[in-house]
Amino acid sequence: MTVPIENTPLTDFNKQSFRSLQVYARLRNGVTREEAGAALAVVARDLARAHPVDDRNAELRGFPVETGMVTGSLDQDSGLVMIASIFLGLAGLVLLLACVNVANLLLVRATVREREMVIRSALGAARFRLIRQMLTESVLLAVLGGVGGIALGLAGSSFLSSINLQTDLPIAFDFGFDWHVFAFSAAIAVAAGALVGIVPAVRLARANLNLVLREGGRGIAGRGHKLRDALVTVQVSAALTLLVIAGLFMRSLERSAHADLGFNPNHVVTMMMDPGEIGYNVDRSLAFYQDLLPRMRSLPGVVSATVAQSIPMGMLDHGSDTLTIEGYTPPAGQAAPEVSYNIIGTDYFETLQIPLLKGRQFRDSDNAQSPYVAIVSEAMVKKYWPHEDPIGRHFTMASEPTHLLQVVGVAADAYYETPDGSAPSYFYTPYAQHDLSSLLALEVRTQGDPGAMAPAIERAIHAQTPGLPLFDVKTLHQALYSPNGLLLYEVVAGLAGVMGTLGLILAVVGLYGVLSYVVSQRTMEIGVRMALGAQRGDILRIVYRQGLWIVGIGLAVGMAASLGAAHLVRSMIAVSATDPMTYIAVTAALAAIAMLACYVPARRAMYVEPMRALRQD
């Protein structure tokens, strides 16, 4: 199917080094995947023996076609699976925070209701009946919360479905109602309700009748506070973990968006076209592009124009090939290097404003009748000709072994994929010297708004060639936020930010709720202290000290958890997993907000009226 669709020469598929193939097979009845895998391993060994260069590291593995459809890869470390796993883990942290929050509130409520439950028990209520009553209440809360959560989930799914992928081809995500997801969510909600309700229920059922009645409903100061404090500590640490992960993704988006890409994406409009779709053969397509570029350059408002096989982070990936490089010998045991490249037209470096560091640009005279030439990146020079002049050096591509490419220029490094680490080796060849695929991208640099120039450019093309389909029309800046560019960082950072915000809200609510309860339970104690001469500052320190301990321990535990979680996502972020700015900023922000949450109930404790507190039952 690939040959007629992509105009790929059939000869490419007959080369032993060709690797862009997917093989589909249906297993015979009774054959397991393990048996098929063993057979594939034998085939791989035979290939390695027959072709020791091309298939030295050949590996064949079978996987279900459904896995390939979802991941697009043979392994479970692919992008979609990794993203899904990360966000399932983050969602689990949010669920943990919510459960801990509810559990803490139920513990507080259980303490308040101790006297009621003891009286029920004294009147003959069985322990199991008391537990059942408490569990019924907690499960009902969970079910109601689950219904609200599913409603919010449907709204969020609708939002995700509306994300613009910056592609002309209609790509839609199906986030509609699904019974499997609904059943899973309902089961999680009910299980969470039962889990968080069982501890306070059992604790109430085991309450000491005489002790509670003697307390007169006031509760013993500090009794049970260790469990509540521990739960709030878990909330603070989990919230810190969520916020750190969100911060790392946001920092990655910021760094990638403001990174030096090696080219200037501003004031450039791009569009794809394929003269082969209207019946042009290779020679006629070449003539079409040679006539197109002068027309584009003559348009008012156009600075320069060029064509290329692919645009940075665009819909079509750049090519890559195995090279035999003059003056370079691969280390023992390593195969020949594979380097990415782009097939471009004249004025390419001027249009993208990629500096040419040495040598010359491509000319119109660089065609199939002239010596084959290439321009290499600075990174390629450093790797294969360090401390040498690369101009005049030669190399060959495995796909075109008869064409010796001479280096005529050195260009500054540019990122054609998401910037992550140092720029890779790269080279460029003129489109007139290759078996041209008629599908190319037109790139035009304009003086003003490139989006506003797009209609005039399209009209000029259709005036030259009526009926030629043009697609993927966008500015180069928009192309950077495509699925192959920064869109992934943008979506992931947004989702992580939402989850981090939820975690922060839950942690603050939990901390505030517990300290408010502590103040209400210690009202009489505070009144006694103030009657004996304690100042308001003393009361503030007493209450605040408890909040400080909880927050401090939570931040310490959360810091360790954050480092572990960041290590798991390090392959998906453009900053260090230990990025100090993220950790310092997130920790300081969480600590400040948590301290504010502690201050409100502490301040209320400062203004307790001693006489009113002493009269309290």
Kindly state whether residues 231 and 157 are assigned to the same domain: yes
Position 195 in a domain? yes
Kindly state whether residues 304 and 345 are assigned to the same domain: yes
Kindly state whether residues 456 and 551 are assigned to the same domain: no
Kindly state whether residues 502 and 469 are assigned to the same domain: no
Contact of 237 with 555, CB cutoff 8 Å? yes
Position 517 in a domain? yes
DSSP per-residue string spanning 304-318: EEEEES--TT-SSPP
What integer pLDDT is reported at residue 417 of this predicted model? 77
CB-neighbour burial class of residue 617 (10 A; exposed 0-12, middle 13-18, buried 19+): exposed
Contact of 210 with 117, CB cutoff 8 Å? no
Contact of 318 with 416, CB cutoff 8 Å? yes
Residue that the structure tokens 């947004």 belong to? 494
What integer pLDDT is reported at residue 457 of this predicted model? 94
Kindly state whether residues 395 and 514 are assigned to the same domain: no
* 142-179 burial: b if 16+ Cβ within 10 Å, else e: beeebeebbeebeeebeeeeeeebbeeeeeeeebeeee
Residue that the structure tokens 């290759």 belong to? 434
Kindly state whether residues 86 and 127 are assigned to the same domain: yes
**CA triple 499-504-506, angle to 5 deg:** 95
Position 69 in a domain? no
Position 73 in a domain? no
* 470-481 burial: b if 16+ Cβ within 10 Å, else e: bebbbbbebbbb
What integer pLDDT is reported at residue 268 of this predicted model? 94
Position 356 in a domain? yes
Question: And the tokens for 394?
Answer: 């030669």
What integer pLDDT is reported at residue 343 of this predicted model? 92
Q: Which of 430, 450, 479 is the last residue of a domain?
A: 479
- CB half-sphere exposure, 218, CA atoms < 13 A: 15
Residue that the structure tokens 């007169």 belong to? 216
Kindly state whether residues 211 and 274 are assigned to the same domain: no
What domain range includes position 38?
Answer: 2-62
Q: What are phi and psi of 343, to 5 degrees?
A: -100, 120
Model confidence over 466-524: pLDDT tens digits?
A: 889 888 888 988 888 777 777 777 878 888 888 888 888 888 888 887 777 777 766 77
What integer pLDDT is reported at residue 437 of this predicted model? 67
Kindly state whether residues 119 and 205 are assigned to the same domain: yes
Whole-angstrom distance, CA of residue 429 vs CA of residue 308: 10
* 209-218 contact pairs (CB < 8 A, 24+): 209/118, 209/121, 209/122, 212/114, 212/115, 212/118, 213/115, 213/118, 215/115, 216/617, 217/114, 217/115, 217/617, 218/521, 218/524, 218/616, 218/617
Kindly state whether residues 87 and 212 are assigned to the same domain: yes
Whole-angstrom distance, CA of residue 246 vs CA of residue 252: 10
Number of domains comprising the chain? 3
Segments of the chain with pLDDT less than 50 = 5, 68, 70-77, 217-224
Position 74 in a domain? no
Position 92 in a domain? yes
Kindly state whether residues 405 and 519 are assigned to the same domain: no
Residues 6 or more apart from 242 whose CB is under 8 A from it?
90, 93, 94, 97, 496, 499, 500, 502, 503, 504
Position 71 in a domain? no
Q: Which of 27, 62, 97 is the last residue of a domain?
A: 62
Whole-angstrom distance, CA of residue 251 vs CA of residue 232: 28
Residues 6 or more apart from 260 whose CB is under 8 A from it?
none
Kindly state whether residues 14 and 159 are assigned to the same domain: no
First-to-last CA distance in the chain? 84
Q: Which of 456, 479, 502 is the last residue of a domain?
A: 479
Q: The pTM is what?
A: 0.69
What integer pLDDT is reported at residue 180 of this predicted model? 83
What integer pLDDT is reported at residue 66 of this predicted model? 62
Kindly state whether residues 427 and 278 are assigned to the same domain: yes
